[in-house]
Structure 1
Amino acid sequence: MNEEAKYKKISILKEIAELLNEGTEVNSVLAEVLKKLLDVTGLEIGWIFLIDGNGNHQLTAHAALPPALTNENYHRMCQGRCWCVNRYHSRKLTKATNIIECQRIEEAIEEKAGATCGLTHHATVPLRAGEERFGLLNVGAPYKTYFEQDELALLESVAFQIGTALKRITLTQKEQETALIAERNRLARDLHDSVNQLLFSLSLTARAGVEMTEKVDVKQTFSYIQDLAQDALGEMRALIWQLRPQGLENGIASSLSGYAEMLGLSIETKVTGVMNLPGKVEEVLWRIGQEALANCKKHSQTLKVSLRLTMNENLVQMVIQDDGCGFYYDEKLEIPSLGLKNMKKRTEALNGKFQLESSPGKGTVVQIQIPV
């Protein structure tokens, strides 16, 4: 390797290190790192799988994948297992491995799924930081069936940097979530201590005005002001609940039961399993439950609602049901309201399943399933 080539290699590796050290958005960082890695190694094809704690893999970054792997919106890369993923799960894959025949490519050839552009093998290396593991880095090139030890050493070095960066980004996101919760709590306290107290004082003043005057029109005005103040107090209490749910420290069931009672609903709660939930999951269940209970109060024409929470080893399920007026809903059509769309979006953001059942006169059922 001449001096110019060595300088270019060192320069690109420095750029990779800077990207990983400064980046905060996982997908864009990994896409750029993969591009630079292929450039410095002279390889052409690469992809990165991120693998979560439940064993689900996600195609997070890729470059120059052949049509056999990209058609049908990357279906072959996003579904099923392969040898490298299986070895990752069995913990037999601990370092950069020389030549793994690509199972996904072999299946694509058998099924005549499209051109493979000469890709038959790839090197694979786990992304890790200490004992924590995050996924796999795979690279290959047309008709390349062997990787030298120095190539594998370079891949392993970059993969370790990626793993360290992913751990840093994860910790940063957790810190941001903690800061957001703290800010919500501060705002809730401020609203309670200022605006809430002012509205309460306004309500008392209006009530005193009603009792102090004999004029009918003045009494009516003060009564109207008192009603408005009471309505505003109710809205403010609901907003404070949204920012800082009372009882969440005692679990999601306690929090949602308290919120339902604050709305004036009669709630029947049943909990099965030990509810030791990750913070993200608990937050999503709270927000969805809150929306569902508010919908019941506004639209169902009933004050009775049931809440069922069930948790097993790897799944939590929440069902909120009322026996109210219901509405026409066809699951083949678009979800009819923004609130319901948000519930679905929040659920699917955690790889969960959202299900809605309703029909006129038969009430409404909202069911959420989220892996934990």
Structure 2
Amino acid sequence: MAQQAYVTETDDGGSGDERQGPRLRRLTDRLIADWRGDRRVWRRGIVVAAFAVLLALVMGLHSRIPNRFGNLGSLTETFLPWLGIFVPVLLLLALVRKSATALIAVVLPAIVWLNLFGGLLTDKTAAGGDLTVATHNVNADNADPSGTARDVAASGADVLALEELTASAVPVYEKALASTYKYHSVQGTVGLWSKYPLTGVEPVDIKLGWTRAMRATVTAPAGQVAVYVAHLPSVRVKMEAGFTARQRDKSADALGEAIAEEPLKKVVLLGDLNGTMNDRALNAVTAQMRSTQGAAGSGFGFSWPASFPLARIDQILVKGVEPETSWTLPETGSDHLPVAARVKVDTSS
């Protein structure tokens, strides 16, 4: 008996795959033909084109936006990646308006955005490293500090920093983390838990009047590392004052000075900096350190707010050690996501 062959056919006898290409070409040809016969194709969409050029200028020259008026520059830089959302919107408007001018103009902000953030779209994680670190703003109003402690300890971090600790919650965290971390120190509202010995523990003055930063030497198997924990002051967006960040900026400068004077060459900074790597107000810190997320992460690693992360204000920054991988951890009872990284302390090999 002859074997019967079965094929899937369209109504006119051609296969679906074969017809898909011609359909797309016919649609494109129709669009080009329609625009080709339209004498206004270059004159329409001037407003859309102008917005596209303005968007490109804002993103490309963000460091030139002054902070004199409500810290507008820092506010823009905090949410700078999100300006890319306007690119497809402008593209759609250009197509609706059938404007060649607008289409060409939209290319400008697309190129600028890709130049700024395209590298974050690739996966740069690696499998190496000899020290895992994590940081978490646990939220002073956290209703489940014990559960939060167990969640972050389960990340496998060798060194864990916690911020926004309250006096009443500290014993809860100490008890929950005692079985995982042999060494720990709490200074003011920040704390450091470690599987390896801590020495040289001291508060760091970031010009607040109370302690929200500390440093310690962690003696890891691969060598000694100076670990800083910091919780910089919060920023606020107010109608009458704009983006208020003066105290945060002052504390960032003080933290940058302390790190610059650190005698150890291998340094890790963990904490809630209430600012992104793009914010020029954190230059005193970011100019001398690398972001593990930027160097070895996958994606933007947004950490706040936990329910719908819009910005990465929780940071792991390093100098003298090599970032291998960086990631965000699952949501806990806090309004921040924990972030973690694995770094290589022994860079001799």
TM above 0.5, one fold? no
TM-score, normalising length from structure 1? 0.23
TM-score, normalising length from structure 2? 0.24
Structure with the bigger percentage of helix: 1
Give the greater-gyration-radius structure (CA). Answer: 1
